[in-house]
């Protein structure tokens, strides 16, 4: 099982794309998911894309899918019972309270649930196929100061470590007889989160101090001290395929938006 949002470290078509291309793709995809009438198609298309273009089967990121499932189900249920208008596929009377489950509610709920799932999945695609360093350096190329871009990339590199640390703390809590972090009861779960925040937070503070010192010792501030520019050994540059794909993404978005404005084919 891969921790959530961890880079997969493979070599594939999606991995080789420039992070900026993938970022444009994700943004366009998010907007497109609001334009098309059947977002579940996009959801499964994205799973297929991750599988066949990045070589990552769903078994490697199923924790994310499992995490999304209750949220998607909850959104659907809320809409089923809140949206009125027939046809109703289930009704019940509890005294003065009239409860009914509407088919339009089911439709809207499923659409919203899958839209949310699609968005999360798009970010997962980005995170699993984009090396944090490249992401940081591409932002540096777009004008972000080096230290900010590097720290941004480093924070992403640190994320799986913190996630692993959280799992260890969860096991340590169980060893002390507390199952709080696995509980579905919010009155048990949230105090458990607060309890686990102590070792997690203090560990993170200690780690960040050690890391900051190690960075200083490896010369993070040397270019400023010496007044010499920093050399990037592995530069990030857009390839023709990146530019083509960016154009296709933006073009598709504009085209769909145009179709939506000019015809009744897409929902408003």
Q: Where do contacts with another protein occur on this chain (CB under 8 A)?
A: 1-2, 7-9, 57, 59-60, 131-133, 150, 153-154, 157, 160-161, 165, 168-169, 171-179, 182, 195-196, 198-199, 202-203, 206-207, 210-226, 228-234
Minimum distance from CB of 198 to another protein (Å)?
6
Minimum distance from CB of 229 to another protein (Å)?
7
Closest to another protein by CB, 84 vs 210, is 210
Cis peptide before 87 (omega within 30 of 0): yes
Please, where are the H alpha helices in 55-184? 62-82, 103-129, 132-141, 146-175
Closest to another protein by CB, 7 vs 25, is 7
Minimum distance from CB of 147 to another protein (Å)?
11
Closest to another protein by CB, 165 vs 252, is 165
| Dist CA 186 CA 226 (whole Å) | 54
Minimum distance from CB of 128 to another protein (Å)?
11
Minimum distance from CB of 237 to another protein (Å)?
14
3-state helix, strand, coil in the chain (%, to 5): 70, 5, 25
Closest to another protein by CB, 73 vs 214, is 214
Other Cβ atoms less than 10 A from the Cβ of 172: the count is 12
Nearest to 46 by CA among 7, 8, 14: 14
Q: Please tell me whether residue 149 adopts helix, strand or coil conformation.
A: helix
| Dist CA 160 CA 7 (whole Å) | 9
| Dist CA 112 CA 120 (whole Å) | 12
Closest to another protein by CB, 62 vs 90, is 62
């Amino acid at each position: 099982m891969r921790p959530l949002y961890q880079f997969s470290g493979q070599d594939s078509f999606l991995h080789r794309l420039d992070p900026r291309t993938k970022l444009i793709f994700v943004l366009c995809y998010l907007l497109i998911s609001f334009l098309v009438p059947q977002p579940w198609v996009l959801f499964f298309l994205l799973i297929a894309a991750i599988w066949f273009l990045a070589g990552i089967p769903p078994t490697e990121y199923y924790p994310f899918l499992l995490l999304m499932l209750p949220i998607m189900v909850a959104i659907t249920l809320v809409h089923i019972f809140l949206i009125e208008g027939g046809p109703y596929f289930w009704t019940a009377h509890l005294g003065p309270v009239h409860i009914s489950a509407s088919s339009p509610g089911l439709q809207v709920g499923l659409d919203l649930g899958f839209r949310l799932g699609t968005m999360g999945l798009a970010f997962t695609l980005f995170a699993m196929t984009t090396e944090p360093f490249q992401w940081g350096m591409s932002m540096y190329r777009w004008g972000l100061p080096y230290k900010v871009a590097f720290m941004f990339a480093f924070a992403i590199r640190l994320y799986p470590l913190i996630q692993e640390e959280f799992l260890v703390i969860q096991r340590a809590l169980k060893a002390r007889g507390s199952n709080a972090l696995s509980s579905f009861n919010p009155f048990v779960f949230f105090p458990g989160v607060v309890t686990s925040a102590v070792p997690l937070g203090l560990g993170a503070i200690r780690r960040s101090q050690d890391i900051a010192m190690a960075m200083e010792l490896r010369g993070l501030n040397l270019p400023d001290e010496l007044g010499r520019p920093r050399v990037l050994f592995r530069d990030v540059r857009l390839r023709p395929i990146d530019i083509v794909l960016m154009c296709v993404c933006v073009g598709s978005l504009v085209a769909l938006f145009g179709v939506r404005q000019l015809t009744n084919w897409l929902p408003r």
